[in-house]
Amino acid sequence: MENFLLGRLGGRERGIGTAADEAMRVVFSCRFIFQIWIPTNPWGAESLPPGIIVSELDFYLRRLWGQPSEDLTNKPRYLVTFTVGCEQKNNIDAAVKKFSENFTILLFHYDGRTSEWDEFEWSERAIHVSVRKQTKWWYAKRFLHPDIVATYDFIFIWDEDLGVEHFDAEEPGLELDRGLTWQMTKKRDDSVVHKDIEERPG
């Protein structure tokens, strides 16, 4: 292929190239530039164009047109995920409304019924992933890869049946007078992350 390509290019430089030669030159030069040419490589092992491979991704939504730098006027700092079925729509709606625009909303649908959430205004900006009859940890292991969620400060993996009457998404944690089971859920004014906690057995 390389010799053929060089022959085409050489013929054009000598002034004997045709329109067909030019078309072939463009096709073969593009393939030649991005190809990992090792005889033992299987078909499809060509390298990707520059800029396609990156070390980190995110769930920020992009437009289909315009400059990428203009896509986001605000980058959410937090990610919250819900593993949901339609039976819990009203409870999820109440929970989502507790989260500000600082949160990316990600819904994992275990019943496959994604279109029924269109009645909520926030559903249009949420991300919907639909795989039937799976658990929240099945989704988390496959869609919350560290290279994707690294851009967020905090990640909430929410249960769909949790009440939110006394919940503040910007300052999560339980007050001491409300009773708590686990020390990790206790609100601390001097810290934003509970890294080291001693829990009682059981």
Ordered by start, the domain boundaries in the chain are: 23-36+75-162
Quote the CA–CA distance of 46 and 178 in Å, as a whole number: 59
Q: Where are the beta strands (DSSP E) in the chain?
A: 78-84, 103-109, 127-130, 154-158
pLDDT band at 105 (very low <50, low <70, confident <90, very high): very high
Model confidence at 2: pLDDT above 70 = no
Model confidence at 3: pLDDT above 80 = no
User: What are the Cα distances from residue 33, in Å, to 28, 60, 152, 189?
Assistant: 9, 31, 36, 56
Interval 10-32: pLDDT, tens: 444 444 445 555 544 544 444 44
Model confidence at 126: pLDDT above 60 = yes
Q: Are 186 and 176 in contact (CB under 8 A)?
A: yes
State residue 34 phi and psi, 5-degree precision: -100, 10
Q: Are 82 and 107 in contact (CB under 8 A)?
A: yes
User: Is the pLDDT higher at 148 or at 8?
Assistant: 148
Q: In what order do the strands lie in the sheet with 103-109?
A: 127-130, 103-109, 78-84, 154-158
Look at residue 12 in the predicted model and tell me its pLDDT.
Answer: 43
Look at residue 14 in the predicted model and tell me its pLDDT.
Answer: 41
CATH topology of domain 23-36+75-162: Rossmann fold (3.40.50)
Interval 55-74: pLDDT, tens: 777 888 888 887 777 777 77
What percent of the chain has a predicted confidence (pLDDT) above 70? 59
Specify the residue for token string 């292991």: 141
Look at residue 179 in the predicted model and tell me its pLDDT.
Answer: 55
User: What are the Cα distances from residue 24, in Å, to 4, 8, 14, 36?
Assistant: 10, 8, 16, 20
Look at residue 56 in the predicted model and tell me its pLDDT.
Answer: 78
Using alpha carbons, select from 99, 117, 100 the residue that is nearest to residue 108.
Answer: 117
